Each structure stands twice: as structure tokens, then as C-alpha cells.
Structure 1
Amino acid sequence: MFNAIFGSKSAERVLVYINTRGGGYGREIAAFYGGSLTSIQRQLDKLENANVLYAEQQGKTRVYRLNPKYALYPQLQQLLDKAVEFYPPAIRDELLMNRRRPRRTGKPIQSV
């Protein structure tokens, strides 16, 4: 939907994912969207070179985050937050549920 603004669908996916989840790495983003790792990695490199993202090593994994020193950081965050609202409900809910580990067996699910 916003790929005209971001230049490509992969760039939109990378930015929305990283903004919503607070960070991510190439394989994780590609698996979430069911897309090509090559196109996601290309966008991560391009956005890092433009200082929109920065990367840090966590073990052998390179984790990307939005760069708070980027000149348009607050405006970019607002745009990405608004973009998520236009995603289909299933994808939006999955993006917003940032569970990194499995739920403990037998733990009750809390209703909102």
C-alpha cells in the first residue's frame, strides 16, 4: 500500500516490521512475510547505508533497528504506525504480538 512512498514493497515490509517489533533480522522478516530473504537483505543494507536503520550484533545474528539519530525519525515512526492500521487485521495482530518465546505450558491466556 505504501510501497510508492518507500520505493518497494520489501522496503515497506522491513520498515513496518522493525518499527512495530522494535527490531528484527533478515531471515525473521522474510519468514514473517513469506518473502525472499535476498530482497529483504538488500533493503536492510540499503536502509542501513542511508542511516535510516542501524545494526548490532547479537551473537551471530545482525539485528536491525530504526536509527533514532535519523533526521526524520519521529515523522517516520508516525508514518509507519499509521501504515500498520491499513494492514489486514490478521497481519496487523500478528505484527503487534511480539512474542519471542513460547507460552509456558498450562499458562492461562489473559483477555484484554
Structure 2
Amino acid sequence: MISTALQDLFGGKAAEAVLLSVFHHGEIYGRAVSRDFAVSLDAVQRQLERFERAGTLVSKQQGRTLVYSWNPKSRLAARLRDLTGVVYDGLEQGAKEQLFAERRQPRAKDKPVIRPR
């Protein structure tokens, strides 16, 4: 597991995992974040609820799954997304590929999972 400043700022791996995942994917759900970052599902779900209570994330029901994304109406969410982007951009390409190896959406053949910037 790669550790970033987000873990130090927000006090845990679950917060870091949630923020990086929602930044990378746009929409996330707890079990996928738990699997990608090897963090307990309970810790991820608690962190998702905290971010939602704070107004930075919003959720919607898709079947039996709660899917979370950035709150488009929150100025705090926009700033948090910017901060997460700074940390995300600072990760090495290999670290991004390791953390986000599983594709969530269909892609064209040979298209990379991580877009180089």
C-alpha cells in the first residue's frame, strides 16, 4: 500500500483510499474501494458516511449498492477534489497502475487504465 499525505491529513488509510478512488473513478462503491486498497469494508463504509455527512460526497442507490461521487453543489468538495488531485498527480505511474489495476468500465483494446499526464 502506498501512503500519501492524505492518510496523514485525514487520519487513516480508509480516508485516503476513498478520496483517491473517487478522484480516479468519479463514482465509487465501498466494496470496490475495500478490495483495491486492502482496507476493511467496515472502515471504508464509515469513511464514506463521514464524507457524506460533511457534504463532500453524495450517494445514490443503484440496485442494492450505494454509489458515491463528489457533491457538485459543495465548494468544500471542489477544494477537496483539487487537493486530492495534487496528491494523485504526485503519485508515480507505477503506483497508480498498482492501485487502480482493475478496470471499472469497458475500454478499447490496449487502452491504458491510467492516462499519463
The DSSP-based 3-state class of the residue aligned with 1:109 is coil
Q: Deviations over 1:36-78 (max 9, x none)?
A: 1111111011111111111001111110001111222332222
Say if 1:101 and 1:22 are closer, same or farther in 2 by CA, change over 3 A. Answer: closer
The DSSP-based 3-state class of the residue aligned with 2:75 is coil
Identical residues among aligned pairs (%): 34
Contact 2:28 2:67 in 1 (8 A): yes
Q: TM-score, normalised by structure 1?
A: 0.79
Partners of 1:53 and 1:96 in 2: CA distance: 20
Q: Deviations over 1:1-45 (max 9, x none)?
A: 222222322112101101110011000000011111111111011
Runs (4+) of structure 1 exceeding 6 A deviation are: none
Residue 98 of structure 1 and its aligned partner are, at CA, apart by 7.3
Structure 2 segments unaligned to the other structure (5+ residues): none
1:27-42 to structure 2, matched below 5 A, reads: 27-42=31-46
Larger of the two Rg values belongs to structure: 1
Q: Which residue of 1 aligns with 2:70?
A: 66
Say if 1:91 and 1:22 are closer, same or farther in 2 by CA, change over 3 A. Answer: same
- Tell me how many residue pairs correspond in the alignment: 109
Output the aligned Cα RMSD: 2.6
The DSSP-based 3-state class of the residue aligned with 1:99 is coil
The DSSP-based 3-state class of the residue aligned with 1:68 is coil
Partners of 2:69 and 2:102 in 1: CA distance: 15
1:85-104 to structure 2, matched below 5 A, reads: 85-93=89-97, 99-100=103-104
Q: TM-score, normalised by structure 2?
A: 0.76
2:87 aligned to 83, 102, 108, which one?
Answer: 83
Say if 1:78 and 1:101 are closer, same or farther in 2 by CA, change over 3 A. Answer: closer
Structure 1 segments unaligned to the other structure (5+ residues): none
